[in-house]
């Protein structure tokens, strides 16, 4: 039997004690189920997190991570709520790996998301490959038609 994993690790830097307190409160609430973000949005927290302070700079950050089966969408939703409240012009990006414990066909992938206060832009390799395949098929078909085949 094969095991499937979604892994990621990314930091969101915090600019004030107030931001750190808000993040800690909301993420602690997530551990107990769902949390309301203030915009009538609710989302689960299927990921691990920890607050850390850099030794050299003293800057605080929240570390989002998962070794087994995290959900990047949940991190993106949480960070988007943070950006709406604290940094309307800020951005955040997260990449992840989708892996399998055994070499199974089509069982390895990953992706990325770019988050702003108003939008999430997702990049998934299967979608990119599908688009490239379709474009190639259209181009090949047009070549055959232009050659009278």
Give residue 79's domain range: 4-123
Does residue 106 lie within any of the structural domains?
A: yes
User: Residue 52 has which token pair?
Assistant: 């850390």
Q: pTM for this one? A: 0.81
Count of the separate structural domains present in the chain: 1
Does residue 29 lie within any of the structural domains?
A: yes
Does residue 114 lie within any of the structural domains?
A: yes
Res. 49 pLDDT band, cuts 50 70 90: very high
Does residue 149 lie within any of the structural domains?
A: no
CB < 8 Å & 24+ apart, contacts of 19-26 = 19/82, 19/86, 20/51, 20/60, 22/82, 22/85, 22/86, 23/51, 23/62, 23/82, 24/51, 26/78, 26/81
Within 10 angstroms of residue 2's Cβ, the number of other Cβ atoms is 9
* pLDDT, tens digit (0-9, with 9 covering 90-100), for 108-118: 999 999 999 99
Res. 30 pLDDT band, cuts 50 70 90: confident
Residue closest to 59 by CA, chosen among 19, 9, 86, 114: 19
What's the pLDDT at 116? Answer: 98
């Amino acid at each position: 039997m094969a095991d499937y994993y979604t892994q990621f690790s990314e930091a969101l830097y915090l600019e004030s004690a107030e931001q750190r307190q808000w993040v800690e409160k909301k993420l602690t609430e997530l551990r107990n189920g769902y949390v309301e973000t203030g915009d009538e949005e609710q989302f689960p927290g299927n990921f691990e997190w920890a607050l850390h302070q850099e030794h050299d700079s003293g800057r605080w950050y929240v570390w989002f991570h998962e070794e087994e089966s995290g959900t990047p969408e949940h991190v993106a939703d949480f960070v988007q709520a943070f950006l709406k409240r604290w940094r309307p012009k800020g951005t955040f990006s997260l990449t992840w790996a989708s892996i399998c414990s055994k070499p199974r066909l089509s069982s390895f992938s990953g992706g990325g998301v770019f988050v702003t206060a108003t939008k999430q832009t997702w990049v998934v390799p299967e979608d990119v490959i599908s688009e490239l395949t379709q474009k190639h098929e259209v181009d090949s078909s047009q070549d055959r038609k232009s050659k009278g085949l």
